[in-house]
Structure 1
Amino acid sequence: MLIGEVARRSGVSSRMLRHYDTLGLVRPTGRTYGGYREYSDEDIRRIFHVESLRSLGLSLRQIGRALEDPAFEPSDLVGDLIRRTEERLAREQELLDRLRAVDASAPFGWEGVLRIVELLRGLNSPHAARRQQTVLAPAEDVPVPTELLAGAVLAEADPNVAGALRWALARAGGDGVASLAAGTRSEDVEVRRRAVLAIAGMPGDDAAAVLTEVLEDLDTAVRGRAALALGSRGETVAVPALVRMVAEGTTDVEAAEVLGTLARDAGCADRIMSALTAELAAPTADPATRIRLTQALVEMPPEPALGVLRTLAGDDDRTVALLASALAGVLEPRAHPFRG
């Protein structure tokens, strides 16, 4: 098969086929009487081998080595290609994020673009002090895109800078919750913790909806922060998680205080009391757990809590009994302020 026909059928240009011949990658095994290159079926198969390896990013020199050396081991080369490709993709993703940030800020003229680029440099600085200064004193007349701030919040490990970023995100307006929501589904637990902490400080039904989804997170810190935030908003959906926090000893004091606030509603108070007493009666509740649950009763409305505490005053566990008796003495004046 002559070179023109090979080029037409293979999709490799005649010029490239001649280049392959010059390099020794694919040399046609035959020549016509007129001296034209003539490719055999085996030559054409080799062309397709070369093209396949090129599609993986191998150089022509690497391809030649791979095809000629029977002892060639491709695993190291492929591994190196993977690493270089990942690095290139990371650089391109960084560039894409930067371009999107510039576009989202809708700058006026090149001066506006340059100010946004400078802002991005500040936020990406390796120095925490520079990042914090950039957040607290942004470039004049340059609104910081919500998506950019949200991404910085999810990536920021320094607590001081993270606090400044959350403050800036809350002031920026826009759909900050939506930008942070993806972080609550990250495989990285630290990213999920940062996301829920930021969302907890944002108002609105959208924030409450995302926090509700987080209540089933596998990480105790993530679901605990969501439960505390929801409970502080008066969302009763957080009650089971808050009671579990008291039982498990995960920021149990804060959880009990939030339960006490929710219990100001009579209907919710009954639900909370039922949950607390069920945990107290659970056969798996150890003494430390029952002590925490007993302490939480002091945050409840006095009348229903007194009944449970008086029962616990006769508990078989002496520590629980003494604690319940003492707390009952504290609640008695609240339940009957005019007695005696």
Structure 2
Amino acid sequence: MLIGEVARRSGVSARMLRHYDSIGLVRPTGRTVGGYREYTPDDIRRIFYVEGLRSLGLSLRQVARTLDDPGFTPSALVGDLIRQTEERLNREHELLERLRAVDAAGPAGWQGAARVVELLHGLGSRSAARRQQAVLAPTEHASVPAELLAEAVLNESDPNVAGALRWALARAGGDGVASLAAGTASKDVDVRRRAVRALAELPDDEATALLRDALEDTDPAVRGHAALALGARGVTRAVPTLLGMVVDGPNDVEAAELLGALARDPTWADRIMRTLVEELRAPTADTAVRMRLTQALAEMPGTIALDLLRQLAHDDDRPVALTARALMTVRDERPDGETRDAAPP
């Protein structure tokens, strides 16, 4: 079969067939009397082999090596191709995300675009110091997309860099909450913790709603971060979790201070005091727990906990009694009988 007929039937151009011949990839077995290339069925079969391997992404040199290797194993080749393709797709995905980030920033000129690209490179660094420096660099020519910062927060394990990212996110505006919302639903508990800590620094209603939902999380740290943020916003739904934090210990001082603030509402003051008393009298409450509860009583506004503190000053549990006495002394030393609900100086 002559080259023109082979080109028509195989879909490979005559020019490419001549190139295959010149590099020794597919050489026609015969020649006509006039010197034209003449392909045998085996030659044509090899052409289809070449085209099939090229469709998998192999270069002509790789195709030649594969076809001429007697020890060729398809599984090894396919495995290598899968790995190379995955690496290429990852690079392409990174490029796509970079382009989207630049587009979202809406830079007015190349200086703004360069700033966003610089931030992306910095966030991709293995050095925590370099990532932090990239976040805190001035942004004179373009705003940093909140979505980019939110994604970075969810993936950042270094506490200093994470703090810088939360600081930048809180000042970026935009819709970073949507990305953080996805983080609160992650199966990875570390991602959920990072999401809630970032939401705690965003004052809008959407962030508050997500923090309310986080009170139902299975992880105590997630619930604790959400409760502290909500308590600071005066959200009384956080009260049960804050009370649990006083009993269990983590962040009990901050939780007690917020309970004191929330107890200014008479409705919640009664509930908070009742729970504190119940926990103090619980048979399972050890000395450490009762001391934390006693300290929490000192945070209550006005005189609502005064009688109870006086009783605890004579408690049979000596560390608890000493704690109560110390707190009473501090209270008595306040000028003009100042109480917790007095206006700050």
Regarding TM over 0.5, the answer is yes
Q: 1:285: Cα distance to partner?
A: 3.0
**Structure 2 CA distance for aligned equivalents of residues 288 and 273 of structure 1:** 19
Q: Over residues 108-162 of structure 1, what are the superposed CA-to-partner deviations in whole Å (9 max), with x where a residue is unaligned?
A: 4xxx2563144322442235357536634124x3222222232333344555544
- Cross-structure match for 2:321: 322
Unaligned stretches of 5+ residues in structure 2: 1-9, 22-37, 339-345
Residue from 113, 116, 119 that aligns with 2:116 = 119
**Structure 1 CA distance for aligned equivalents of residues 287 and 81 of structure 2:** 58
Alignment of 1:129-140 (within 5 A): 132=133, 135-139=136-140
Q: Over residues 70-102 of structure 1, what are the superposed CA-to-partner deviations in whole Å (9 max), with x where a residue is unaligned?
A: 995937x66555543443332122111111112
Unaligned stretches of 5+ residues in structure 1: 1-11, 23-34
Q: 1:228: Cα distance to partner?
A: 0.9
**Structure 1 CA distance for aligned equivalents of residues 221 and 239 of structure 2:** 16
Q: Which moved more, 1:264-273 or 1:124-133?
A: 124-133
- Cross-structure match for 1:6: none
Q: Which moved more, 1:205-214 or 1:167-176?
A: 167-176
**Structure 2 CA distance for aligned equivalents of residues 172 and 273 of structure 1:** 41
Q: Which amino acid aligns with 1:120?
A: V
Q: How has the CA–CA distance of structure 1 residues 309 and 318 changed in structure 2, closer, same or farther, with 3 Å as cutoff?
A: same
**Structure 2 CA distance for aligned equivalents of residues 166 and 240 of structure 1:** 27
1:172 aligns with 2:172: yes
**Structure 2 CA distance for aligned equivalents of residues 159 and 222 of structure 1:** 16
TM superposition outliers: structure 1 runs of 4+ over 6 Å: 35-39, 53-66, 68-71
Superposed CA RMSD in Å reads 4.8
1:251 aligns with 2:265: no
Q: Over residues 287-321 of structure 1, what are the superposed CA-to-partner deviations in whole Å (9 max), with x where a residue is unaligned?
A: 32222122211112354424544555565x52355
Contact kept? 1:122, 1:131, Cα under 8 Å: no
Q: Which amino acid aligns with 1:87?
A: E
**Structure 1 CA distance for aligned equivalents of residues 293 and 63 of structure 2:** 69
SS at match of 2:298: helix
Alignment of 1:36-55 (within 5 A): none
Q: Over residues 168-212 of structure 1, what are the superposed CA-to-partner deviations in whole Å (9 max), with x where a residue is unaligned?
A: 322222223223322333344444333322221221211111112
1:267 aligns with 2:290: no
Contact kept? 2:287, 2:317, Cα under 8 Å: no
Contact kept? 1:306, 1:331, Cα under 8 Å: no
- Cross-structure match for 1:7: none
**Structure 1 CA distance for aligned equivalents of residues 182 and 139 of structure 2:** 25
- Cross-structure match for 2:290: 290
SS at match of 1:299: coil
Q: 1:257: Cα distance to partner?
A: 0.8
Alignment of 1:77-156 (within 5 A): 80-108=80-108, 112-113=109-110, 115-125=112-122, 126=125, 128=129, 132=133, 135-139=136-140, 141-156=141-156
- Cross-structure match for 2:242: 242
Contact kept? 1:132, 1:160, Cα under 8 Å: no
Q: 1:248: Cα distance to partner?
A: 1.4
- TM-score, normalised via structure 2 length: 0.68
Question: How many positions carry a matched residue from both structures?
Answer: 318
- TM-score, normalised via structure 1 length: 0.69
**Structure 2 CA distance for aligned equivalents of residues 63 and 220 of structure 1:** 60
SS at match of 1:170: helix
Q: Which moved more, 1:155-164 or 1:287-296?
A: 155-164
Contact kept? 2:132, 2:160, Cα under 8 Å: no
Alignment of 1:217-228 (within 5 A): 217-228=217-228
Contact kept? 1:263, 1:272, Cα under 8 Å: yes
Q: How has the CA–CA distance of structure 1 residues 332 and 197 changed in structure 2, closer, same or farther, with 3 Å as cutoff?
A: closer
Q: Over residues 222-280 of structure 1, what are the superposed CA-to-partner deviations in whole Å (9 max), with x where a residue is unaligned?
A: 33222111100001111111111111110111111111111111111122223323333
